[in-house]
Structure 1
Amino acid sequence: MKLKIAIQKSGRLHDESLKLLRDCGISINNGRDQLKASAKNFPLEIYYLRNGDIPQYLKDGVVDCAVIGENLLVEKGEDIQILEKLGFSKCRVSLAVSKIFEYDTIKDLEGKRIATSYPMTTQNFLNEQGVNAELHIINGSVEIAPNIGLADAICDIVSSGSTLFKNNLKEVEVIMQSEAVLAASPRIPEGVREILERFQFRIQSVLKGRDFRYVLLNAPNKKLDSIIGLLPGMKSPTVLPLAEEGWSSIHSVVRQDIFWEVIDKLKDEGAEGILVCPIEKMVL
């Protein structure tokens, strides 16, 4: 049996999804313009699908799992389980209006026309806010709608905001934050679940590695306790004596989000020769 995974055929999720598979040690037999490909060294088949079709393929059990935007699951994938947040393709679903639109609160959209490719997400948000508006469903370039008089506002995904800027729009409300996720079909065959668990374990190891840095440093023995206190590591740092008397080498890991803060403190405590290396995988 093989695990069937769907990824976006083209677009912003495609390349990062394939990179994640490579980082998991999975080699793909991927010819040009193929719609399906098999892994050489793991029981896995890839289906390259249109992004908007993936939720239905998951619901129907045509594929066992998928790398997909969280925002699309909210829109089309109710009851589909999210297994892992993957940390790439981050964006937000937002409301935007023309730069000349005098906007103060969401109530300013009462009775207005909103163009969107995410009608369910938009309508649910408007219902929560007690706002009645007319939705125009558009597949494609939503940003043009206010400029051609089709709508007063739009609801769409926003990454950098540059597309809004180019179309003389301003972001006024963030409905939700989104990123790529690993999602599972509710109809996974029992024999495939074990393969999915192995695949998920590999993904977790890759993601943990991205969150940490491996640190090697030299420290005076008289400062070992204070320096070790700054480097908890996975359990505790590794301490090895150096040839030079009175010094030791310390090996540990540091979370990336506090990395520079920790490095500054290590230097203040007398650490020298600090080397920092990326971690490819972290298996706990």
Structure 2
Amino acid sequence: MITTADVLRYTAFSTDPEGGNPAGVVLDASGLDDAAMLAVAAEVGYSESAFLTAPPQGFDASGQAFTARYFSPKAEVPFCGHATVATAVALAERTGPGDFVFVTPVGPVPVTVASVGGVLIATLTSVEPHIEETAGEDLREALAALDWTAEDLDPALPPRIAFAGARHLVLAAATRARLADLQYDFARLEALMHRLDLTTVQLVWRESDSVFHVRDPFPVGGVVEDPATGAAAAAFGAYARELGLVPGESELTLHQGVDMGRPGVLTVTLREGDPRVRVSGSGARIPELG
């Protein structure tokens, strides 16, 4: 039986163990059922933990393939980008850089790990994304839960629900100061997110054509804020392309975690002719306590 002492701990989207977003990583979860995985994730206490088992029977992949599941302290989530990056880095440290495939609840997610200047960089390729309009009453409820007004929004980046493995409500702040001041009604936002089947709310401020600052409230996962959110970054890349905010062939830089004291950098790559979104970042092992 696996205990939390057997769980690897890695941060994603930073080379500093005190930056980025920490994830629990279980490279062999074959002895765990759903309840046990949830219990481990709850005890670890990170926003998500990843659990690998053998791929589905007959699954054909050019690289190493695994079934991947993701649990927050409160529930299973369909896909988690930062835990995917953390897990891929952990695997590459043991088997070397290369190609992996994570068979997730939303579909296969290819991940490539390369050594760049001696640093392992993992790049995941999302499932095919889509974007939805946001109903007026849902937007008003989100703003009320966040204690934002309509004037706090950037009209150049309209609210949308974006999906690239998980659903995220994208709201753009008109100013960096508005983004920095995050104090919200946890229970009210959680209730709205459950109703809309959202994983996070992605709050965005645009610094330049290709540089964005983001924050992700995550009450449905049992935490106030996610420090670096790969799934939301993928969804945001699809959102930005769909709305014509960036060219179809683009590389975007997302800064997240700065206001939490856990800075991380997520690179989002869009390719002409491929609807999928690529999200890249580094990772680092978190030293054991004691």
Compare the two structures and name the one with the higher helix fraction.
1
Structure showing greater Rg? 1
Compare the two structures and name the one with the higher strand fraction.
2
TM over 0.5: no
Q: Give the TM-score normalised by the residue count of structure 2.
A: 0.24
Q: Give the TM-score normalised by the residue count of structure 1.
A: 0.24
